[in-house]
Chain A
Amino acid sequence: MELKGLAFTTDILIGLTLVISLIPLFYFVIESNYPETSFQSLTYQANDLIEILANLKASSFSNTSTISMLLSNKIISETDLNKTLLDLIGTFWYSGNKSIASNITKEVLEGLTEKCFSLQTHNETIYSSCSSNPKTVSVAYRLESGYEIGKPVSGYVARAWATKVRKNTTQIIIFYPEGSGWTAQRLEITKNFALPTNITIYNATLYVSIHFGTSKSQAQFEQLKINDVQKKNDIKWLYMQEEAFGWEITTAAYGVVDVTNEIQPGNNSIYLVIGTPNYHSHIHPGMRLIVTYSLSQELSTGNKSFKKRYYFDNVVGRTGAWSMVSFYIPENAKNAKAQLHLKTLEVDDTVDLFGRNSSDVIIYFNSGHIFYKDGYCSSQNCYPSCSISGLYYRNCRKVGVMNPELFLNLTNNLTIGTNVISVYLNNYGDVHWGDQKAIIYSDPLNDPEGSSYVEVYYEMEEPTFNYGEIDITREMLFGGSASNPKTFNFTLNQSQNKVIEAFVHIAQGFSSMVNASINNFWIFTSPSIRVVPENVYVYPNKLSVGKNSIRLVDFQEGGSISGTNYILPWSSFEYTYLVKGLVGYGNVFNSSQLAIEDAKQRLISQMGEEGIKPEGIQVDSQSVQGLRWLWGPSLFKILVWERE
């Protein structure tokens, strides 16, 4: 019995020990495993819900009342149904339509879980299904780019372009240095030219640069007719330089006349008659007509191949006639070609003392060496060996009158930059011969093919301007005082950074040879004495935004700087630059209308900087919708917890 009791007692004690020892284990299991299982369940639900929002398309829930209402009210389109639910909710939430975002969340998620949940972003609750405070909450999150508080999710961009622009521009019509033989009589020059027909002329100023008799008794300034209107008495002489070598008294004169009322759109004609009894009548460098007008221009693309004709002026000299035409080949030009068509009239055909056919037609091209002659030359200057009358007249025997017409290929002697071709009929330098007039014929308006011209052809790898760009030409006068050398400093602003063509117009009284440079880069030197062209081509790539300078120097054949051959302040720098007539996509706006208005304003502002008025711009525009911003990323959180 005693042993039994002991055994039972021991057994009970062991049993109790086991029970006592298991209590903490149960406690452990109950206290830790149950919340873990619950939390895991919440986590699964949270992850599932965020996956559903992030991956399922809105189209899967198009039957829910809010989405179908949005569709029927055309607030969203069928395309929007391709967005994920999270994207759709985010789009509405961040665009300020919070109740719509909240309703979609509610309708989609409440049918999927019975637990409490809350969708949040940026510490704001989009929707919460319960108001209770959770003890244990599981969170799942998703990053979503494209949202930021106060910023539009997507919007419209627009671009605009001018289809037609009314621009103010300048056209310079130059008179080439040209004239008659030494101590020649009446010189007649006719320049026929055409301006665009669809222009409104604001100003036309003619600068007259001539060499004629004295400014006093011997002056022979007979005619200056602009479209048959006599203007010779209206010239305001700006500069006169009279020189006398014994009985040879002569004057270089530079003047200006306003011809705004006489110059007209379309065809025009300027007729000039001057003379000098004892010197040399001719036009000096710097004679040019500057027309400022308003032109309607449709936007188009520049060409890659160019064919230009530089027409001579019609020059009637007694005796002898000459003209010096300058033209240019731009840098980067390929396959450049040029030919001269020279049509002359009433050239005296002469022979020298030895019966040799004199060279009555002499042509120089980019060189001091004769390029073409039609007869015998005994010396480099090709003065015929005839008896001398006075200082400068050669009394050659006239054997007839001829009207030579020449086609000369200039291609092999072309140079990049400024080219100068000089044509002499019955004269060269200080000497002239023949007994009647000689004519360099040109009437480009009525007889373009029969007139004298240089035709230039070249190709460029890229068009000088693309569509959407318009060219504007401006001129800056040197100003200051007459001097030699003369330096002109000027500034190009940022909007003028795309200069496609530029020239220096040289205005001089007396001249010998000239050297021109831009920003210390050489651009032209006269190839021989008296070859001073009216204009010199400036390489656009030598120009820069900001400060620039042009330096002109007149020098003698031996190289010394000419003492009295001044560069006049009416020399000028002509430049043509491009202005963009279109603007690309700008900021993103909430409506197409706002985007388009912005584009138009940007275009008007851009073109207005170049003096093009808004009313002169016809604008077309195009908008693109639905362009999204890369805001964020934002954090979308879904919280899930047990209902109480």
Chain B
Amino acid sequence: MALGSKLVQNLGMGERMKGIFFSSMIIFLITCLFIFFSIQRSMLSFYSSQRAIENRVEAMIKFYESVVYDSRKSMEITAQRATCSAINYVVTTGSPLQSSNETIAELILQGTINSEPQGLMEASTVKDWEDSIEYLGTLQGFRTSVDIRDLLIEPEDSYHLSISYTIFVELYDDNIKTNLTKNSREKIIMSIENMEDPLYPLNTLGRIVNIIRPSPHWLNYSSEDTSNLKDDLENSYYHPSLYGASFLDRLEGKFFVQEKYFKPNPIGLESFVNKDKILSAGLPIDAYATNIDYLYFSKSGVDAYSISGMPSNFRLDNETSLEGKTHLQIYNVTVIE
């Protein structure tokens, strides 16, 4: 009984201790839970806000990349139209350009030649594209400024022009007070195939048109079988040339590659003048002159030789063409003595 009483006594005191302890623990646990939820909440908030900023910055970067990407595409379109406009100007006025690369640059940037607006460049200039991009940037929530400068147009090779430019992009997001200012130097290569060669109309009172189409037979000529050479003559196909005027030279009415466009790799062009076509246009021909276009039109007076298996008014000279070979060698022909 005594034991039981003591036990009861002890148990009463222990129960009290336990109650306090458990109450403390519950308070502790609630505090912990509160702290954890608070931390979680603030972490979520911070993370969300950071993600939002990251997303906007990422969107800015993507937009910038997209603008730079599209600048190349739009430059291809604009440059093609500008080149076409330049040709159009030369062949309709009969006046060669003073500086064809600068004129094409003016056309690309402003759509004009000597400040005269050109129809083909309507709504197709770099300025028009910049305005569109700035508008699209606004739709994306960015104050946008795009500027293309330092346009450089030069021959890349015989059949291509290289157009390089610097694009400056400035994006500003008012919501997150973030600014992206970046520039990059870009370059596109534009083909001149299927465009008109201005040298032909300039030297035939505008009566002969020749389209720049590379010869499908280049370096595949035989002195035994001149069918490829005849096909090149019939169609006035083009061949690379070391000295023959490049496309930019031809826009300037020049017959030879000028120093300002010179490059270590061949950039010039040459084709066989089809003398029969000139005759049928009512123009006189020099039946004894070489058929290489730039030498024929320049009235160079170089010695020219009748070629076996070719029409009687076809002549080739022995001037250097490419790779140290002369025209007689590169076209692999036999001269009629």
| Interface of A toward B, CB cutoff 8 Å | 2, 6, 10, 13, 16-17, 20-21, 24-25, 28, 32, 54, 87, 140-146, 157, 159, 161, 163, 298-301, 466-468, 582-586, 620, 622, 624-630, 632-633, 635
Contact = CB atoms under 8 A, between A and B. Distances in A.
Contacts of B128: 630
Contacts of A142: 66, 69-70
A87 B73 contact: yes
A123 to B, nearest CB: 13
Contacts of A625: 194
B14 A141 contact: no
B32 A17 contact: yes
Given A584-B92, A633-B133, A28 B43 contact: yes
A140 B66 CA distance: 10
A580 B201 CA distance: 16
* Chain A contact residues, majority secondary structure: mixed
B56 interface: no
B14 A2 contact: yes
Given A159-B91, A159-B92, A143 B69 contact: yes
Contacts of A21: 32-33, 36
Interface in B123-152: 123-124, 128-129, 132-133, 136
B304 interface: no
Contacts of B67: 143
B330 interface: no
A626 B194 contact: yes
A145 B95 CA distance: 33
A144 B37 contact: no
B44 interface: yes
B40 A633 contact: no
Nearest to B76: A628
Given A145-B70, A468-B94, A622-B209, A584 B25 contact: no
B120 A585 contact: yes
A631 B91 CA distance: 27
A468 B93 CA distance: 8
B44 A159 contact: no
Interface in B70-124: 70, 73-74, 76-78, 80-81, 84-85, 88-89, 91-95, 119-120, 123-124
Interface string B236-264: 00000000000000000000000000000
A24 B37 contact: yes
A-B pairs with lowest CB-CB distance, top 8? A143-B70, A466-B94, A145-B74, A630-B124, A584-B92, A467-B206, A584-B88, A143-B66
B95 A466 contact: yes
Contacts of B70: 142-145, 633
Given A300-B205, A625-B194, A630-B77, A468 B92 contact: yes
Contacts of A467: 94, 205-206
A627 B32 contact: no
B29 interface: yes
Contacts of A629: 77, 124
Contacts of A13: 25, 29
B14 A584 contact: no
Contact of B44 (A28, A298, A299): A28
Given A25-B36, A144-B70, A624 B77 contact: no
Contact of B29 (A17, A583, A630): A17
Contacts of A635: 136
A497 to B, nearest CB: 15
B187 interface: no
Given A143-B70, A467-B205, A630-B128, A17 B28 contact: yes
Contacts of A466: 93-95
Name the residue in A10, A143, A144, A635 with the highest tally of chain B Cβ atoms < 10 Å from its Cβ.
A143
Contacts of A54: 69
Interface string B199-231: 000000111010100000000000000000000
A161 B92 CA distance: 9
A632 B195 contact: no
Given A24-B36, A157-B120, A146 B73 contact: yes
* Residue among B89, B91, B119, B136 having the largest count of chain A Cβ atoms under 10 Å: B91
28 contacts: A13-B25, A16-B29, A17-B25, A17-B32, A87-B73, A141-B66, A142-B66, A143-B66, A144-B70, A145-B73, A145-B74, A145-B77, A145-B129, A163-B207, A298-B282, A466-B94, A467-B205, A467-B206, A468-B92, A582-B92, A584-B91, A585-B119, A585-B120, A620-B209, A627-B80, A629-B124, A630-B77, A633-B132
Contacts of B129: 145, 630, 633
Given A10-B21, A584-B92, A586-B119, 14 more contacts: A20-B33, A25-B36, A54-B69, A87-B73, A142-B70, A143-B66, A145-B77, A163-B207, A299-B206, A468-B92, A468-B94, A584-B88, A633-B70, A633-B133
A630 B78 contact: yes
A140 B33 CA distance: 41
A65 B80 CA distance: 31
B81 A630 contact: yes
Nearest to B73: A145
Contacts of B47: 32
A13 B67 CA distance: 61
B232 interface: no
B94 to A, nearest CB: 4
B84 A582 contact: no
B277 interface: no
B81 A582 contact: no
A383 B154 CA distance: 76
B196 interface: yes
B185 interface: no
Contacts of A2: 14
B35 to A, nearest CB: 8
A600 to B, nearest CB: 15
Contacts of B207: 163, 299, 620
A240 B38 CA distance: 120
A157 B205 CA distance: 22
B228 to A, nearest CB: 20
Contact of B84 (A25, A28, A157): A157
A204 B128 CA distance: 57
B62 interface: yes
Contacts of A28: 40, 43-44
Contacts of A633: 70, 74, 129, 132-133, 136
A238 to B, nearest CB: 45
Contacts of B81: 627-628, 630
A184 to B, nearest CB: 52
B73 A159 contact: no
A249 B209 CA distance: 69
A301 B84 contact: no
Nearest to A633: B70
B188 to A, nearest CB: 13
A54 B33 CA distance: 51
Nearest to A43: B58
A146 B124 CA distance: 10
Nearest to B195: A624
A628 B88 contact: no
B210 to A, nearest CB: 10
A159 B209 CA distance: 11
A612 B111 CA distance: 33
Contacts of A626: 80, 194
A157 B29 CA distance: 82
B84 A140 contact: no
A5 to B, nearest CB: 10
